[in-house]
Amino acid sequence: MLTLAFPWALGLLPLPWLVWRFAPPWRNRVAAIRIPFFRRVTEAADLKPQPGAVVLRRRPVQMIAAIVVWGFVVLSLARPERLGEPIVITSAARDIVLALDISGSMDERDFLTPDGKPKQRLAVVKDVMAEFISERDADRMSLIIFGSRAFVQAPFTEDLDSLQGFLDQTVVGMAGPQTALGDAIGLAIRSFESSEVEQRLVILLSDGADTSSKMTPVNAATFAAQKGVTITTIGVGDPEASGEGRVDLAALADIADRTGGSYFFADNEAGLKQVYDQIDALNPRETETQSFRPRESLAHIPLAIALLLILVTSTVLHLRSLRHGQGSKA
């Protein structure tokens, strides 16, 4: 589809006629004698005519060429463009932070696979989380890992393949043996400071109680609610264990409740997959779409045609003048 970027430029088309019609021509009156066959007389007397001695007349080809050239110049100023097919860009309308507990207790092999075999907690979590990530097309996601300290393993990105790579590199204990639950929430809140979207979701998975945070989980959750951050919590592990190995389900439920999120508990691989399916249903993918049509400027084409017409017309007139001169001498 062809269009004009500046169609108002076509209003310049009658400009030469307006100048010719209303602008007074420049005239210089001098005394002169009109001599028929002036060119032959000057050639016979071997004289060179002075400027203004010969009245030049416009040839029809000159007028036609001038009109056409002006039309193409004005068309070039109007900037014709070719519109391409519409391109739709889908971008995330929300940001998701995955906060993953990798404390020492995540090395326990008490998760059962669908065939009944025991499997490491972190391995199961990574497998299920990887499947969840692969279905988050167009979402921006970030990965935070926490143990004794909380770290940003992967900043917000739409490149989910690279996020998956960072998740694969995560191992038990790389952030320390304890559980800094409150610090992980605080770091997630800080990660959203550069976010420009309103939908902000944290999916927090932990198998223990907070033991090393500088900020309590309750205070962190309250602050998250004030910042408009929703936290969905997932508890894994053994709620009947003692010490640091006991998952604090009450604290996880309280965190979710304070931020308007949801709380889940899973003790096997099938249950964890079901949890992520429920999260997907409760928090459907939010996207924003923008469409545009690429524009290719064609202004150079009429301008090139105008220059070519000027060159051709000048060449034709020059050759005709030379031929006429040779004919007069003969």
d(CA 107, CA 171): 9
Average pLDDT over residues 46-73: 79
Classify strands 199-206 and 94-101 as parallel, antiparallel or unpaired: parallel
> Are the CB atoms for 121 and 107 separated by under 8 Å?
yes
What does pTM read for this prediction?
Answer: 0.62
Q: Which residue has 């969905």 as its token pair?
A: 232
Nearest one of 194, 196, 186, 212 to 99, comparing CA atoms: 186
- Looking at per-residue pLDDT, the higher value among 133 and 288 belongs to 133
- Looking at per-residue pLDDT, the higher value among 153 and 38 belongs to 153
Average pLDDT, the chain: 84
For the cut 90, the answer to whether the pLDDT of residue 319 exceeds it is no
Domain 89-290's class?
A: alpha beta
DSSP 50: P
Which token pair is 189? 């809140």
For the cut 60, the answer to whether the pLDDT of residue 328 exceeds it is no
For the cut 60, the answer to whether the pLDDT of residue 329 exceeds it is no
- Looking at per-residue pLDDT, the higher value among 82 and 135 belongs to 82
d(CA 35, CA 81): 55
Average pLDDT over residues 57-83: 89
Average pLDDT over residues 114-134: 87
Sequence-ordered strand ranges (E) for 114-227: 118-119, 140-146, 150-157, 199-206
Nearest one of 231, 237, 258 to 249, comparing CA atoms: 237
- Residue 324 burial class via C-beta count within 10 angstroms: exposed 0-12, middle 13-18, buried 19 and up: exposed
d(CA 197, CA 92): 8
Determine how many CB atoms are found less than 10 A away from the CB of residue 91: 13
Find the angle CA(76)-CA(308)-CA(52) to the nearest 5 degrees. 100
Average pLDDT over residues 279-289: 66
Q: Which of 49-53, 192-196, 212-216, 295-299 has the lowest mean pLDDT?
A: 49-53
d(CA 50, CA 212): 103
Query: Domain residues of the chain, as ranges?
Result: 2-85+297-329, 89-290
Average pLDDT over residues 303-314: 92
d(CA 103, CA 60): 92
Say whether 235 sits in a helix, a strand or coil: strand
Nearest one of 120, 146, 123, 271 to 202, comparing CA atoms: 146
> Are the CB atoms for 301 and 75 separated by under 8 Å?
no
d(CA 302, CA 74): 9
d(CA 181, CA 299): 62
Average pLDDT over residues 272-298: 77
What values do phi and psi take at 236, rounded to 5?
-130, 165
> Are the CB atoms for 229 and 235 separated by under 8 Å?
no
Average pLDDT over residues 292-309: 90
pLDDT digits (tens, 9 = 90+) for 137-172: 667 889 999 999 999 999 988 888 899 999 999 999
Q: What pLDDT score does 304 carry?
A: 94
For the cut 90, the answer to whether the pLDDT of residue 276 exceeds it is no
Q: Which residues contact 35 (CB under 8 A, 6 or more apart)?
A: 41
Which token pair is 229? 């951050």
